[in-house]
Structure formats: structure tokens, C-alpha cells
Amino acid sequence: MAKFFKEESRTFNDYLIVPGYSGSDCIPERVNLTTPLTRFKKGKKSDIELKLPMISAIMQSVSDDKMAIALAKEGGLSFIYGSQSIEDEAAMVARVKAYKAGFVISDSNIKPDQTLGELVEIIEKTGHSTVAVTDDGSSHGKLVGLITSRDYRLSKVKMDELVSKYMTPINKLIVADASKDLSECNDIIWDHKLNCLPVVDEEGNLVYMVFRKDYDSHKDNPNELLDAHKRYLVGAGINTRDYKERVPALVKAGVDVLCIDSSEGFSEFQKDTITWIKKTYKNKIKVGAGNVVDKDGFNFLADAGADFIKIGIGGGSICITRETKGIGRGQATAVIEVAQARDEYFKKKGEYVPICSDGGIVFDHHVTLALGMGADFVMLGRYFARFEESPTNKVLVNGSYYKEYWGEGSNRARNWQRYDLGGKKGLKFEEGVDSYVPYAGTLHDNVAVTIAKVKSTMCNCGCLNLKDFRKNVRFTTVSSTSIVEGGAHDVIVKNSNINKDL
């Protein structure tokens, strides 16, 4: 006879945290959110630790190189989406590793013989007021000048006039050579009262741009996630089909950690993939796996050698796996059981395998609930898709701005590898939808608010780190009427963002 779980399958909305004693020294400024990303042995530390317990989902509409840089600045990590060509994914990884804090690769470039009309199109597309003029119009072409919004007046010029007529030529520009570090470049900017400083190599090719406006922003990111060479850390998604070709390219590009992107991880496909990676790279390349929703799935992947394990099937806002296939589990119940399995595994085998809650997070406080229930960190899709740094278009719908957001199992993504069960290639039916999410601004501003809430709740429980929080936090289940009581009720609410979903 079929096995039936006695306990209900619960979501994060079914729980509340009961506060505990909080001493006078327990304030948000003292809370440390550092958490392990990859497995480690008892008495040791993880080779990779996150300073922010948040990673971005392995999705076309969420995680590219721009998102990876923005999140690493905050102390989190992005996994570049794998549903693209091997060459394109490796190139994204390489761009993150080549990025130097404060040194920006110019993405607004034009040739001197192009017109002002073409210049205006570039400015409207990128939103940048400073455009590099290079001989071939590329970001690393020979620098011949700069043109800014101060160099021309749209009402006084003709759109067919050439950029070369209005640009500031190279012989009138102050530039820095590529041997200068960021401190030296900032000194040049301040000494010469510049807004922008081009950095060129020995042949005069543009390498980077350094902007005055970025000077203070770098001091605002004390939690940057950096490797031993002061480069941002970046992850990448892989599948169980072409990993023997994809992984070497990603490793060559400098990837720090991999993750198998699959809707269901309790499979021989994942075990074979992990085994090949560990054997080929002599256990030096870290790889996460998943997704699972119970103890058996966790133990299987932990024994296979996974460095971290993702939890969640069907809980994502754009995921319709439960609807189409009837499989999955409430995210809270899944996290609680797998967290217990992780702790048992650690006691039995002396190895700690971090777990990631992936999906089911609708409100900021759900992040806190997931961490308290045992997750070492959370993976978020819709949350990050709303931000300026996500790779999708910003569109105007009925007077409000939105960002496009689609599932990896949708026809738009056509990421059949994520739902692979062997056999012929192809997406036979959809397990994700194509949608919009409200545009929310920059990642930095929004993450700051979310983390402030997490830290505040931890202080309400008397905890200053995640390990103590998981150990001491107390939960209570809630009724449907209790949920209503928890929000604003029996009043007429003025314009407010209270309880606005992520």
C-alpha cells in the first residue's frame, strides 16, 4: 500500500516566531549573518562562507553577470543561469571574475563617425550620460574621445551630425594607465575635478571607466564576497546532460562553485554528475545539488558528495509543477525535515552539508522563518527579478513599471534539461509561467530593508548569529483567523507598503 505522511504539508504562512528574552546587548548592529555555503568536516570551516544568507535563482530572468556583481557586493552569491550556450555562460562567469570593484567595463560606446541620433538611442537604452568614443564602437576599442550630455544641446543640433564634431578628443582628456589601482585613480579624479576617468592599456585601448559617483558606494559595501585575489565570487548552474563539456569551460572561466539545476534531485542523473565532477577535479570543485523535500532525498545527495543541497519542489511563484504533475511538498515542512536530516548526518558522519531553502518565500519575514527552521541560506527568484540589476526588460503596464519574469520550465525559457528524466530531448509540457513582477528599484536598497527585518527578529529572540537562532528560536502554528489578525484590520488604511509582498 502507498505510504501516507501523517503530518500536513505546511507553508511558511502557517507559522509565527514566538519571541524570547533579549538582552540589552542584543541589537541589530551586532547580528552576524555569516553562513556556510559548502560542506565541511567537524572542527573545520566551510571553504566558502556567505556574508549574506541569500543567493539568486538559476534563472534566465534573474541571474546574469550584472546580478552576480551586485549581489556579491552585498555578501551574497549568484548562480549564472545554465539554460544558454556553454560559451555564453562561461563568458558571463569570466566577466564577473574580471570585474574590479570601482573599475567599470563601459557598456555605452560609439564610433566617431556615428551620428548624434545614434548616440541618443544608446543613451536612451543604457540611461548613461557619458559615452566612450572608440575606433570600433566597442567597450575595449582604441579610445578616441568622450561625449557627455554637456557637450551638445538637443534643441540646437541636428541628429545627422557626427559624434566626432562634439566629443572631447583623446588629446584633451585626462586618462589613467591600466597599472593604476583604484586608490590612485580616485586621487586623479579628485585632483583634476573629474566626473569620469578612462583607463587605457599601453596601446591606448579602453579597459575600464572609473566614476566619481562610485567612490562612496565602494565604502558602503563592507560585506563584499571576494576570493583570495580580491575578485567577486560567482556560481554557475549546470545540468545533467552536457556537464562533461560545460563544467570544464566554467572552471576555465574561473567559476567558484557549481549547482545542478533540476526540479527534482533524488535521481541517478545527479549522482552521476556529482561523481564525475568530484573525480575529474579531485574534489576541488564545489557543487551543490537538488531539489529534494525529505530526509531520503537529502541523505542520497549528501552521500553522493553534494557540497550543499537545495530544498523545494513546486513552491516558486512561477512554478506550476505541483499543478501539472501533482508532486511537491509544503516548503516549511520540507525545510524542517531536511534540516533535521542534516543535523543527524553531521552527528553520524562528522560532515556538515548546508541546506538551501528554494521557493515559497513571499514576504520578507519568510526569509527569517526559513533560516530559523534550519536553512543555512535561501535561494530567491522573484525577489531578485524585481530589481534594476536583473537581466529582463522594464516595461510600463497601466502606468506602473514592471520587470518581466518567467519560469525555467516555461515555453519562453525552454529549459528542458532542468526537468530531464532521460529519453528524447524536448519540453513536453510547461512547469512554469511567463509573468511580470512590480519593479522595486535597486538590489542594494531592497536587500538592506530585508536584512534589517531579519536582524530585528533575531534580536527579538535574543540571538546574534544564525547558529544560535536555529537552536533557540520557537515556532507556533497559526490559524486562518490568526493570519487575518496579524495584518491591518478593522481600519481604513491610508497609502502604505505594510505587508506588501516581495
Active site amino acids = 319, 418
Give the residue among 472, 451, 476, 305 at the shortest CA–CA distance from 380.
Answer: 451
d(CA 418, CA 410): 11
- DSSP symbol at 52: S
Burial of 39 (0-12, 13-18, 19+ CB in 10 A): buried
End-to-end CA distance of the chain: 42
C-alpha cell at 449: 530593508
Contact 16, 332 (CB under 8 A): no
Strand extents, DSSP E, 96-160? 109-110, 130-134, 143-148
d(CA 198, CA 133): 11
What's the alpha-carbon Rg for the chain, to the nearest Å? 25
- DSSP symbol at 272: H
Q: How far is CA 355 from the centre of its chain?
A: 17
Q: Which helix (H) or strand (E) holds 474?
A: strand 474-477
Contact 351, 345 (CB under 8 A): yes
Instruction: Give residue for cell 562562507.
Output: 49
Instruction: Give residue for cell 560585506.
Output: 223
C-alpha cell at 165: 564634431
Instruction: Give residue for cell 576555465.
Output: 252
d(CA 255, CA 281): 13
Burial of 221 (0-12, 13-18, 19+ CB in 10 A): middle
Contact 107, 209 (CB under 8 A): no
| Residue 478 to residues 5, 13, 285, 484, Cα–Cα distance (Å) | 21, 8, 43, 10
d(CA 343, CA 353): 9
Cβ within 8 Å of residue 402, ≥6 positions away: 394, 395, 396, 436, 437, 438, 439
Single-letter amino acid, residue 401: Y
C-alpha cell at 270: 545527479
